[in-house]
Amino acid sequence: MPKTENDPLQFFALFNEIGIIQQLSRTFFEERLPNGLALPHFSVLNHLARLGDSRTPMQIATAFQVPKNSMTNTLSGLEKRGLIEVLPHPTDKRSKTIWLTDEGRQLRAEAMERVARDMGPVLPQMDPEEVASALSFLTHLREVLDKARD
């Protein structure tokens, strides 16, 4: 008989599994990043590549739900490596905008290629329909949780 209401313990188990998957995937991913680059660095590069340049440090910090000073530290490391460029905001002289450099785009692409290549042994163990279904569910869950934080 299917459940007719959500069970908080089942949601706890779901978030527990997501947390374990996050730890495993973080380790897997960081092992494939160039020396000195951590997942938070790559995540910012990926964020800018997906959503576009010219975001402010505060917008990025809000998206990642981290304090602005933490994001400033991450952005500083990316800027020192030449992976982003920090430019004055065109209308707000107190703010800055963040732009990916060609090097940043290339590093992101290379990291994604490494991950895709090394996923080879895992992919045959996964049913494509289950992956699509899980992705759809997880996207919906993220959207619900994202709206709940506003």
* Domains: count for the chain: 1
Query: Backbone phi, then psi, for 51, in 5-degree steps?
Result: -105, -10
Q: Is residue 25 part of a domain?
A: yes
Q: Is residue 127 part of a domain?
A: no
pLDDT tens figures, 24-82:
999 999 998 887 789 999 999 999 999 999 999 999 999 999 999 999 999 999 999 99
> For residue 150, is pLDDT > 80?
no
Whole-number CA gyration radius for the chain: 18
Residue 45: domain span: 15-119
Q: Is residue 79 part of a domain?
A: yes
Q: What is the pLDDT of residue 2?
A: 66
Instruction: Write the CB contacts of 55 (distance below 8 Å, at least 6 apart in sequence).
Output: 47, 48, 63, 97, 98
Q: Which CATH number fits the domain that encloses residue 31?
A: 1.10.10.10
The C-alpha atoms of residue 146 and residue 35 are separated, in whole angstroms, by: 32
